[in-house]
A and B are shown apart, each in its own frame.
Chain A
Amino acid sequence: AQSVTQLGSHVSVSEGALVLLRCNYSSSVPPYLFWYVQYPNQGLQLLLKYTTGATLVKGINGFEAEFKKSETSFHLTKPSAHMSDAAEYFCAVSEGGGSNYKLTFGKGTLLTVNP
């Protein structure tokens, strides 16, 4: 069974500051890892994903994440926060290394950006 733990249900940063959202996972097989963003009353939008290969993954809107197998982590970062980044962020892992695309999500981290 797989699981995802997102540390911090709420993160608050100032506009222009570094964004760091933490995600740790548990998986019995090589994981596929994802970060999704959700705006109020909207569906999920994929920010980035790690499958195989390069462990530093770049996504949309200036976000990136690094897969660290030894730490079982996949933290999301952005060098400079923008007001439009305020949303809820979900880390997810897929079962079977992606062969079965069923996703297991963390509980989410709400990001607020202060002017």
Chain B
Amino acid sequence: DTGVSQDPRHKITKRGQNVTFRCDPISEHNRLYWYRQTLGQGPEFLTYFQNEAQLEKSRLLSDRFSAERPKGSFSTLEIQRTEQGDSAMYLCASSLGVKTEAFFGQGTRLTVV
């Protein structure tokens, strides 16, 4: 068990481009979460999945953001038409069922230039 894995670790993109991040949770963890962390702030919840179902989306997740978790395994987070305000660390976490702790990946740092 290698923990939660995120790819890429760093991404620099030009404004207006689309980007996609991948998260591989700990195997058998049925819950998967995405958070966004901007400089000097704590992580903010974006969305979460239970198996393949996306159960909740934050108001922070504009129409340009979409997340998927096909087959309830890995997840992808896509940002379309990136803006400078999207620059942040995107963190993925997974947990096994309810009332159990979430384990975080190392994050993907996005810089939009």
Question: Which among A45, A100, A105 is the interface contact of B42 at CB below 8 angstroms?
Answer: A105
Report B-chain residues with C-beta under 8 Å of the C-beta of A107. 40-42
B28 at the interface (CB under 8 A from A): no
> By the criterion of a CB under 8 Å from any partner CB, how many residues of chain B are at the interface?
27
Report A-chain residues with C-beta under 8 Å of the C-beta of B109. 41
> By the criterion of a CB under 8 Å from any partner CB, how many residues of chain A are at the interface?
26
Contact with B along A68-93 (1 / 0, CB 8 A): 00000000000000000000001010
Closest Cβ of chain B: how far from A51's Cβ, in Å? 7
Question: Which among B33, B45, B100, B105 is the interface contact of A43 at CB below 8 angstroms?
Answer: B105
B42-A108 in contact (CB<8A): yes
Question: Which among B40, B43, B93, B95 is the interface contact of A90 at CB below 8 angstroms?
Answer: B43
Can you list the 9 inter-chain pairs with the closest CB atoms, starting with the nearest?
A105-B42, A43-B104, A44-B104, A43-B106, A98-B99, A102-B45, A43-B107, A90-B42, A99-B98
- Extra contacts, 17 of them, besides A41-B107, A99-B98 (Cβ < 8 A), are A41-B106, A42-B107, A43-B4, A43-B91, A43-B106, A44-B91, A46-B102, A46-B103, A49-B101, A51-B99, A101-B95, A102-B45, A104-B45, A105-B44, A106-B42, A107-B42, A108-B41
Binding site for B on A (CB under 8 A): 4, 9, 32, 34, 36, 41-46, 49, 51, 90, 92, 98-108
Q: Can you identify 15 A-B contacts, CB atoms within 8 angstroms?
A: A4-B42, A32-B99, A41-B109, A43-B4, A43-B104, A44-B93, A46-B102, A98-B98, A99-B98, A101-B48, A102-B33, A102-B56, A103-B43, A103-B102, A108-B42
